[in-house]
A and B are shown apart, each in its own frame.
Chain A
Amino acid sequence: MKFIDEFRDKNLVQEIVRRIRSLADTPAAIMEVCGTHTMAAARFGLKSLLPEQVQLISGPGCPVCVTAQMDIDAFLALGDEANVVLASFGDMLRVPGSQTSLERRRAQGTAVRIVYAPLDAVELARQEPGKHVIFFGVGFETTMPAIAMAIRLAASLRLDNFSVLCVHKTMPAALRALLASGEVRVSGLLCPGHVTTIIGAAAYDFIPQEFGIPCAVTGFEPLDMLLGIEAILRQLHEGRPRVDNVYTRAVQVQPNPRAQALLAEVFDPCDAEWRGLGIIPGSGVKIREQYDHFDARTRFPEVWQRLAPAPPSPCRCGEVLRGVLRPKECPLFHQACTPSQPIGPCMVSSEGACAAAYRYDG
């Protein structure tokens, strides 16, 4: 398959691994920020190719995983409203809320629809004028333009029965908070390729400048990731941290102007609560006043008034997301917490670090 097979070429992989081995002169802990990177590394067994000094650590880039428990509980509680249809990406279906999950609510009769694109949720609202379709807007910059499109389309159709629970997060602010905390020692960052198609590689310039940490923007095939690791090791070797872009077939230095214009039209920046990281200033977006008819928080404010605070949970996903606990170090891993009976989102999201470790490392 074009653009896939070339990046899974065994001989090229071996060549890059040789170069990585020759560059790995000091221990390096490299954080793969994005959950899709975590999954790809596990699926292709990349860790077994790397020299012992080079460690991969999973970061906070699984959108489902970093969604705060209260936000998940709020979306589930919206299902109690009359004539409501909860629409979501499939990833969220089995993520446990404090009491229930979308999957369980569906079994008990709540209308839950899995959609593949936010525009499908708008179409659903058009087809069912007697229902109110609420879409769970989860995701980083990659997903946000599609949600913005959906809101704009709903506005142009003057739909009265479509809204979004917007819990989107922005990546650079979270990385700043994570690095500033000093909790986890990171030698370099593999920056998320898809997010960067929207925000541009220059968005990470502050990381080498302020923290002295090398960055490489990479894609999601084995060769992409290995080239990213090589770029970070080379920066470490040369003592010159910078942002290398090794995903040039998709990512540019500058942001995508059309996507950025769309985001600015529909969203305003705001503070956001992350699972494991707490409230990070300026790391989220909210729907702008002009479009607040499509904001589930405006349409169903009473749901938040009756929402109980999330009870304490033994889940340690927060530590996994900060890179301070490896999935297998969690006492729940593979015991109380499995993909069939997940305690936390990292075990059940298709980008979750625990799910990757459970599926591929045994």
Chain B
Amino acid sequence: MKHILLSHGAGGKEMTMLIEQVFLSRYGSQDFSKDDSATVLLGSHRLAFTTDSFVVDPLFFPGGDIGRLAVAGTVNDLLTAAARPLALSASFILEEGLEIDTLKAIATSMQQTAAECGVTIVTGDTKVVPKGSADKIFITTAGLGLVLRDGVSGAAALPGDKIILTGSVGDHGTAVMLAREKLLEGGEAIASDAAPLTDLVLSLIEAGCAIHTMRDPTRGGIAGSLNEIARQSQVSMEVEEALIPVNPAVAAACEALGLDVFKVANEGKMLIIVAPEDAARALELIQGKRYGTQARIIGAVGDKPAGRVKVRTTIGTSRILDPPSGDLLPRIC
């Protein structure tokens, strides 16, 4: 492989390979996190630390914009480490010629999203590049959080655990794709789910639910996230297709476009893997929250074969839920 391909950034096998062969082989220490957030010890406190970049096209789409995405995405990554988000940074790469009003609208959206989830943007950076050297605006964030519950990680799922999904899948990726390509009439009815899940996740931690793993299924969708967790934890998983909520318009759009909705990105959902005895209580708490009303227990963790995710189909058969491969939807976040 001599050149970077779009598929290297699509959250699938190619990206895993790139990270392993280029980055991990050079600076991947023992502390290099395979989770969405790293954690570092500072005195008696454990901090969660994450970074993310946002390059979505178009900048504004039904249900959100690049600013809301940047704040919610960073906050949700901190939450996967069972951390209370404390502070964010936001750096902007701006293309010469971008309208200032566009930037203002994005900054307003970032402020509103940050206020919604009680986090503060405390620092940032601004660079402008010549026209054509970037596409309108790219945002890079970092996030800092205080870990409230130790050991929550993609490597901590245990056989017997239940898998909770906090709502419908496929909304964000489908909304962005339809907004960009204007593919289907009435496509604007599908809205991104971009949202910060602070209230939902912190309530579970405060209630003492025995959460083992959390992951926000962004690029690569739930198929990508479940496969990552199964590999990291060396467990198997089985989910029930009929229990996975999909909004009817999203299901129809994905059927029409030949997309696998399980591989389509979400930006306001969490996969939460919890000890079986706490599953019902956790589900009830989640369903009482604004972004969790459609939450379901979609399956369970098993032991063998390690790394394998299976799905029971609507007609009662069983098949593999394979991880995504290739560039399904470029620049969705």
Query: Using a CB–CB distance below 8 Å, which chain A residues touch chain B?
Result: 1, 4, 8-10, 13-14, 42-46, 48-49, 93-94, 103-104, 106-108, 116, 222, 338-340, 350, 358-362
Contact yes or no, B320 A46, CB < 8 A = no
User: Closest Cβ of chain B: how far from A198's Cβ, in Å?
Assistant: 19
Contact yes or no, A44 B320, CB < 8 A = no
Please name the residue on chain A nearest to B12 by beta carbon: A340
A to B contact number (C-beta, < 8 Å)? 74
CB of B326 within 8 Å of the partner chain:
yes
Which residues from A are CB-within-8-Å of B258? 350
Q: What are 10 sample pairs from A and B whose C-beta atoms fall under 8 A apart? A: A1-B248, A4-B255, A48-B318, A103-B5, A106-B5, A107-B3, A107-B6, A340-B325, A359-B320, A360-B319
Count residues of chain B with CB under 8 A from any CB of chain A: 29
Contact yes or no, A339 B5, CB < 8 A = no
Contact with A along B1-45 (1 / 0, CB 8 A): 001111100001110010000000000000000000000000000
Q: Which 5 A-B pairs have the closest CB atoms?
A: A45-B317, A107-B3, A339-B325, A13-B315, A45-B319
A94 CA to B7 CA, complexed, in Å: 10
User: Closest Cβ of chain A: how far from B311's Cβ, in Å?
Assistant: 9
CB of B251 within 8 Å of the partner chain:
yes
A178 CA to B258 CA, complexed, in Å: 29
Q: Decide yes or no: A8 and B319 within 8 Å by CB, A107-B3, A340-B17 being known contacts.
A: no
Which residues from A are CB-within-8-Å of B132? none
Which residues from B are CB-within-8-Å of A116? 181, 183, 257
A362 CA to B183 CA, complexed, in Å: 33
CB of B84 within 8 Å of the partner chain:
no
CB of B134 within 8 Å of the partner chain:
no
User: Closest Cβ of chain B: how far from A86's Cβ, in Å?
Assistant: 15
User: Closest Cβ of chain A: how far from B315's Cβ, in Å?
Assistant: 5
Contact yes or no, B317 A49, CB < 8 A = yes
CB of B102 within 8 Å of the partner chain:
no
Please name the residue on chain A nearest to B325 by beta carbon: A339
Q: Decide yes or no: A339 and B317 within 8 Å by CB, A104-B3, A104-B5 being known contacts.
A: no
A280 CA to B260 CA, complexed, in Å: 35
Which residues from B are CB-within-8-Å of A10? 314-316
Q: Decide yes or no: A360 and B320 within 8 Å by CB, A104-B5, A107-B3, A116-B183 being known contacts.
A: yes
Q: Contact check: which of B7, B252, B308, B319 meets A42 at CB < 8 Å?
A: B319
CB of B135 within 8 Å of the partner chain:
no
Which residues from A are CB-within-8-Å of B322? 358-360
Contact with A along B239-277 (1 / 0, CB 8 A): 000000000100110010110000000000000000000
CB of B313 within 8 Å of the partner chain:
yes
Interface centre among B12, B252, B326 (most CB of A within 10 A): B326
Contact yes or no, B3 A1, CB < 8 A = no
Please name the residue on chain B nearest to A12 by beta carbon: B315
Contact yes or no, A1 B255, CB < 8 A = yes
Contact yes or no, A94 B326, CB < 8 A = yes
Which residues from A are CB-within-8-Å of B4? 107
Contact yes or no, A362 B13, CB < 8 A = no
A49 CA to B326 CA, complexed, in Å: 30
Contact yes or no, A339 B315, CB < 8 A = no
Contact yes or no, A44 B315, CB < 8 A = yes
Which residues from B are CB-within-8-Å of A46? 317
Which residues from B are CB-within-8-Å of A358? 322
A340 CA to B255 CA, complexed, in Å: 24
Q: Contact check: which of B7, B13, B316, B320 meets A103 at CB < 8 Å?
A: B7
Contact yes or no, B252 A13, CB < 8 A = no
Q: Contact check: which of A1, A49, A362 meets B320 at CB < 8 Å?
A: A362
A350 CA to B252 CA, complexed, in Å: 18
Please name the residue on chain B nearest to A359 by beta carbon: B322
Contact yes or no, B308 A339, CB < 8 A = no
Contact yes or no, B314 A8, CB < 8 A = yes
Q: Contact check: which of B3, B251, B313 meets A44 at CB < 8 Å?
A: B313
A222 CA to B313 CA, complexed, in Å: 11
A1 CA to B249 CA, complexed, in Å: 9
Please name the residue on chain A nearest to B323 by beta carbon: A359
Which residues from B are CB-within-8-Å of A43? 313, 319
A288 CA to B12 CA, complexed, in Å: 43
A42 CA to B308 CA, complexed, in Å: 17
Which residues from A are CB-within-8-Å of B318? 45, 48
Q: Contact check: which of B14, B181, B248, B308 meets A362 at CB < 8 Å?
A: B308
User: Closest Cβ of chain B: how far from A326's Cβ, in Å?
Assistant: 17
User: Closest Cβ of chain A: how far from B308's Cβ, in Å?
Assistant: 7
User: Closest Cβ of chain B: how far from A6's Cβ, in Å?
Assistant: 12
Which residues from A are CB-within-8-Å of B319? 42-45, 360-361
Which residues from A are CB-within-8-Å of B252? 1, 4
Which residues from A are CB-within-8-Å of B251? 1, 4
Which residues from B are CB-within-8-Å of A42? 319
Which residues from A are CB-within-8-Å of B313? 43-45
Contact yes or no, A48 B326, CB < 8 A = no
A9 CA to B322 CA, complexed, in Å: 24
Q: Contact check: which of A14, A104, A350, A359 meets B316 at CB < 8 Å?
A: A14
